[in-house]
Amino acid sequence: MKIIILGAGRVGESVAESLVSEQNDITIVDTDIGKLMQMQDRLDLRCVAGNATHPSVLRDAGAEDADMLIAVTAFDETNLVACKLAAKLFNVPMRIARVRSTEFQDMPELTGAGGFEAQTVICPEQTVVDTIEKLVEFPEALQVLEFADGRANLIAVRAYAGGPLVQQPIGEMRKQLPNVDARVVAVYRNDRALACEAATVIQPGDEVFCLAASENIRAVMTELRRMDKPVKRVMIAGGGNIGLRLAKKLDGHYNLKVLERDKRRCEYLAGQLSSQTLVLQADATDEDLLTDENVNECDLFLALTSDDEDNIMACLLAKRLGARRTVAIINRRSYAELMQGSGIDIAIAPSQSTIGELLKHVRRGDIVAVHSLRRGAAEAIEAIAHGDTSNSKVVGKRIDEIDLPKGAMIGAIVRGMPAESTDDTSADLARAKVLAAHHDTVIEPEDHVIVFCENKRIISKVEKLFQVSVAFL
């Protein structure tokens, strides 16, 4: 696939990095030549220096025969205008724009067809906020990812001694939870994947990935660890873009404190949030202040500034002062790997949350959702099984008959999902059924199949499985 990426910032770089390894022709456009040269040395891609809203620059980048344009510069205006140009002048078939401002977000008539012509609008900040919101709801989980519009969830949990399933083989789960249809899809011990069979024994400290319907999340988690008290007191360090969005969501439902260094920003925050929320003008790494504000009573400490080091130090400090659980945004991958499991309970890499949204469009076959896991090493894919028994490699087959590559596992099937573009989906959605995949489950046409891929090498094989053979077309 020929892909043009506009913007070599954090998002652009991580997008390029994860796409370039999959035999895509990547061209990246930015105004900073130094940054571009550095990327070109490190990755097998082409760089074009220039303003992404200039037609000549886009032409140099090969827009004429590009398959996809991903506009992820820091400026909404640039991204939207570039999409418009790509549609109007170059007929680029797929156009994705990053839009940070909430003003444009829910206006498809403005950003989409007839407007700026971006088929998909992504907002990395919003994705990160969604991720964190899930963690506030389920503080025991490391990660909660949605499939099938939220009907099914992939949960990552660290197993602790005391959970009924810990020290037991995975096969026990069905006996212990006879009414819950869930399936363990992967177990990682010391960062290495274990073969996930019925006989595999879960040890304390293992990272367990489990697929279940959304109503069963809690039931599954109680299998693996003692449940904590629900979250009541939340402290957010950093009232930037992400901090404010999250604070708005949590405002009123939790006992919330927001720390922000800049005075004028604090005044703005206070104006945006209700009076129940406490906005404090302070440095998140100020020990005295954290003690004064009872960080030891706090259930969840979220460090969401744009500075990795500040986030790490604030979390470590908060943890030492007694915060129950800490979450930090860490952009640099090497830091994230260093910090996971130390004083910081969860390290969130914004780039990883965003990448799934984009991968969905890169993958072949009818792919509805892609989530990048374990810092890009693994991936979970939701694909629709089209066709019938004669031309599909999956439809009408039992799961143990499907020729899945090693390391891939079908975790769940969502049946009866409403087709896209119907208006009243909420009622239909409730009717959709989530089935855990067993070896004798038979896949029916239009099922949404959720596949967990242990490594990226096998993804192309999984894609091929879900492609309908040519005879169908």
- 340 and 207 Cβ atoms separated by less than 8 Å: no
Task: Compute the distance between CA of residue 381 and CA of residue 367 in angstroms, rounded to an integer.
Answer: 7
Distance CA 433, CA 151 (A): 8
Residue 41 is a binding residue for another protein (CB under 8 A): yes
Q: Does 44 bind another protein (CB under 8 A)?
A: yes
Stretch that binds another protein, among 37-45, 217-225, 321-329, 355-363 (CB under 8 A): 37-45
Contacts 24+ apart (CB under 8 A), 42-47: 43/16, 43/17, 44/20, 45/16, 45/20, 47/8
User: In the complex with another protein, which residue's Cβ is closer, 48 or 165?
Assistant: 48
Using CB under 8 A as the binding rule, whether residue 43 contacts another protein is answered as yes
351 CB-near residues (< 8 Å, 6+ apart): 10, 11, 13, 14, 15, 124, 331
Residue among 38 and 425 whose Cβ is closer to another protein? 38
Question: In this complex, which beta carbon is closest to another protein, that of residue 9 or of residue 62?
Answer: 62
3-state SS of 217-233? Answer: HHHHHHHHCCCCCCCCE
What the block records as the tokens of 185 is 């899809």
Q: How far is CA 276 from CA 245, 258, 261, 262, 303, in A?
A: 16, 11, 20, 20, 20
Specify the residue, 60 or 446, whose C-beta has the smaller distance to another protein: 60
CA R_g for the chain: 23
The residue from 6, 8, 29, 45 that contacts another protein (CB under 8 A) is 45
CB of 7 to another protein, least distance (A): 16
Please state the closest distance from residue 40 (CB atom) to another protein, in A: 7
Q: For another protein, give the closer residue by CB, 17 or 130.
A: 17
Residues sharing a CB contact under 8 Å with residue 177, sequence separation 6 or more, in sequence order: 219, 220, 223
Contacting residue, 12, 18, 38, 40, with another protein by CB under 8 A: 40
Closest CB 65 distance from another protein, rounded Å: 10
Q: Does 400 bind another protein (CB under 8 A)?
A: no
3-class DSSP state of 97? strand
Near another protein in 60-119, by CB under 8 A: 62
Q: How many residues sit close enough to another protein to count as binding (CB under 8 A)?
A: 14
Q: Is 14 near another protein (CB under 8 A)?
A: no
Query: Stretches 24-32, 83-91, 374-382, 403-411: which one binds another protein (CB under 8 A)?
Result: 24-32
> By C-beta, is 65 or 137 nearer to another protein?
65
Check residue 424 for interaction with another protein (CB under 8 A).
no
Instruction: State how beta strands 192-194 and 182-189 pair.
Output: antiparallel
- We find the least distance from the C-beta atom of residue 287 to another protein, in angstroms, to be 41
Cβ closer to another protein: 13 or 149?
A: 13
Q: Are 9 and 79 in contact (CB under 8 A)?
A: no
Kindly state the helix (H) or strand (E) to which residue 259 belongs, with its residue range: strand 255-260
The correct pick among 35, 38, 46, 337 for binding another protein (CB under 8 A) is 46
Binding site for another protein (CB under 8 A): 2, 25-27, 37, 40-47, 62
